[in-house]
Amino acid sequence: MLIPRFVRPLALLCLLGVSPLLRAQELTFLGGELKAGTDGSSPAWQVDYRQEFTQYFAGSFAYINEGHVPGHHRDGNALQAWGRLPFDNGKLALSAGVGAYYFYDTQFSPLGGSADVHGTAPIYSLSGSWYFANRWYARLLVNRIDPAHQIQTTSAMLGLGYWFGRDLHPVAGKLGDTPQLKEFVTENELTAFGGQSVVNTFLSEKALAYALEYRRGLAPHLDWTATALYEGDPQIIRRNGLATQIWAVNTFFNESVTVGAGIGPYLFIDHKHPVTGQKIPATFAPLVSLTFGKRLTEHWVARLTWDRVTTSNSRDSDIFLLGLGYRWQ
């Protein structure tokens, strides 16, 4: 089914889409240990973006890497709703979250090699946050991921986060910033990228990758891109093609920093078919992406992008790209 593949980027698009009205975002990096019952344990890590809508309610979008449990290399994204209980004028907070987790699990294939198994599972979480310094906080997080027919995991992680609100830390009853009268719209931008592609198999075949992207703002916090993408030659695939995406974007620090999430179709040709070894016709796959941009001068911008290609033939890939772009009106 194609619909579940679009859950994770659409979730982030929703969060970023409302964030211009509430600038009280939190970005957290966490690491810790994961247990998978009798299947073993592994280090795990997570990056999440949390938006407080009221003093007692928040939403979040997270990328979770569940490490390497024997026979499983699983990661994915979670969309959650949180109930939040603040203490000490907002400097401490306890939260409970529930939501959906869309995962990508590299497993051994009965036919040999590896298979990329996709699925959705419920996720339940508890967290405690301590805002100990200006804008900085520590967070303890426990996740329980409960798929019906795959491994069930429990993880405990500790992390450090940054608060993007107007005040130096959350203040009870005072969330978000007043919307600006003039909202930022991305100018024309042409960016050349270089980086690495990684095929999601147990061998994690890698290759140099390249891309050329044209970006244009359609409206405040909404961009469109057209991209020529070459995933390199990691031996089991050799894909290249064209992609177009719609992005939800937001800016911080006087519009000098940009973050965003994009989704769209990727039309590609794979010159190394995994079965016949022959060239196959052009095929569509969902392309979902996260990007981070830093304005260097009035016209030049550095941009980091992470693309995930989701396939139906167990040849998913991650593409990590760093580029230099030029902006003009």
CATH of span 188-328: 2.40.160.20
Q: Give the span between the Cα atoms of 279 and 274, in whole angstroms.
A: 10
Domain boundaries, the chain: 22-163, 188-328
pLDDT at 279: 56
pLDDT of residue 16: 47
- State the pLDDT at residue 313: 86
Q: What is the pLDDT of residue 5?
A: 39
pLDDT of residue 67: 93
Distance CA 56, CA 82 (A): 8
Q: Are 22-163 and 188-328 in the same CATH fold? A: yes
pLDDT, residue 262, reads: 93
Q: What integer pLDDT is reported at residue 273 of this predicted model?
A: 66
Instruction: Please report the pLDDT score of residue 11 as a whole number.
Output: 46
Strand partners, 314: none
Mean per-residue pLDDT pooled into runs of 10, the chain (329 residues):
39 46 75 91 94 89 92 93 92 96 90 86 97 93 94 96 77 54 81 97 94 96 96 92 94 86 94 62 90 96 96 92 97
CATH top-level class of 22-163: mainly beta
**Who contacts 60 (Cβ-Cβ below 8 Å, separation ≥6)?**
15, 48, 49, 50, 51, 78, 79, 80, 82, 97, 99
